[in-house]
Amino acid sequence: MAKLSSGPTFPISISRHTYHHRVTACHVATPTTTTTIPFADLHPSLEVIGGARNRLLPALHSALRHPYDPFPFIAWNPHVETIFASFFRSIPDVRLRRECLRTQDGGTVALDWVAGDQYQLPPDSPILILMPGLTGGSENSYPRHMLTKARSKGWRVVVFNSRGCGNSPVTTPQFYSASFVGDMREVVEHVSGIYPEANLYAAAWSLGANILVRYLGDESHACPLSGAVSLCNPFNLVYAFEEFTKGFNRVYDKALARSIRNIFKRHILLFEDIGGEYNIPLALNARQVRDFDEGLTRVSFGFKSLDEYYYKASCFHSIKHVQVPLLCIQAANDPISPVRAIPREEIEANRNCLLIVTPKGGHLGWVAGAEAPLGGPWTDPVVMDFLEHLERGTHKTVESSTGPLTVTSKNLHHAEV
């Protein structure tokens, strides 16, 4: 671990440790003095708020000083943009290596790494864990574009395919849910164990973003990630599912329900003779996502009603507990993750959070920027600017009563005394 010359003293808090010479959980508090970016330079087409605005905006200034310029014709309607991005955006050709991780409860998730990176990249290369949205996986265009962007900058990238997604196996009669962070916790621990010298980051979309933010809040000060990005996050599932019942949004609802049914049908034998409150016929013939959640999901995870599940699984409760840098990017016209669900007050109150709202973008669209219309979304370079800014700042020198500490943000910011 490289030693740096001693600098200013930063306060630290230790959340857990071993009684040896190595402190294994040292969080470095952010200095209260920060370089203030001239906010007048931010383009008015973008809404940028958050308690971390002063501290994190310098990393994004080059992108945010220009207008959000959606691609003509495609972005005039949020549904057109959403559908175009889903069906016509290019899918980068990347050779992946699959690792199946057996979880403590006997379930299985699939981790897709870039083939050959285990030999080509240094062991301390920063790692980005990608988590797609509901029924999404490494075969989708949006995680693949993010993967290639990060890989081009020397990052090690792994796509976390949830149970049954991305053709991953299902080995127990339980899928994943918006409320369940256990698999995320095990994936982070597993990846950290393979590359103990590397800093870990995560980026997630849609329902995956909801799970990621819940994980960040649950882990709070003990979170082993050095930073995270949330995109198209529904934040409040009650509002999101209210939107699903309106107008053209029913098309998305039916399409997602069909995808869930197809996954469920491939593994139906696991659910034979299952008792309790389960309603397998309802889940098997779900016409809406709500049908599947009522027949299977909310029962699997111990909720008494669908309303209770959607409310308690919503990640807006978790924002106040997030203790690592978090960038949230939303589109004001997102038809699935409504802008009214964004927890602006909580994001403003948390000094670790930054929110960017673009005027257009649809859901998982953002057909704008240098690569539009068929290339990566506008968000990809913004995400990488944010993550690389964090990675550059992970090595700091602090002083304590026992002398200088060299600190890196790996796991809980490992510190050597």
Which sequence positions are flagged as catalytic? 206, 334, 363
Q: Please give the Cα distance from 105 to 164 (Å, whole number).
A: 15
- Tell me the CA end-to-end span of the chain in Å, nearest whole number: 11
* Strand residues in 132-175 grouped as ranges (E): 156-161
* Alpha carbon distance 1, 45 (integer Å): 43
Separation CA 381–CA 60 (nearest Å): 9
Geometric angle at alpha carbon 228, from 21 and 332, rounded to 5° = 160
Q: 130 pairs with which residues across the strands?
A: 159, 203
> Three-state DSSP class for 30?
coil
- Nearest CA to 77 out of 390, 367, 313, 369 is that of 367
- The single-letter code of the amino acid at 361 is G
In one-letter notation, the amino acid at residue 55 is R
Which tokens in the block code for residue 156?
A: 């090690």
CA distance 163 to 15: 31
Residue closest to 346 by CA, chosen among 360, 362, 326, 363 = 326
Structure tokens at 122: 């240094």
Bridge-partner residues for 229, per DSSP?
203, 327
Beta bridge partners of 230: 204, 328
The secondary element (H helix, E strand) that includes residue 152 is helix 141-152
Q: Show the tokens assigned to 64.
A: 């945010």
Give φ, ψ of 32 to 5 degrees: -75, -20
Closest alpha carbon to 157 in 146, 168, 141: 146
Identify the CA nearest to 362 among candidates 68, 75, 71.
75
186, two tokens: 């095990």
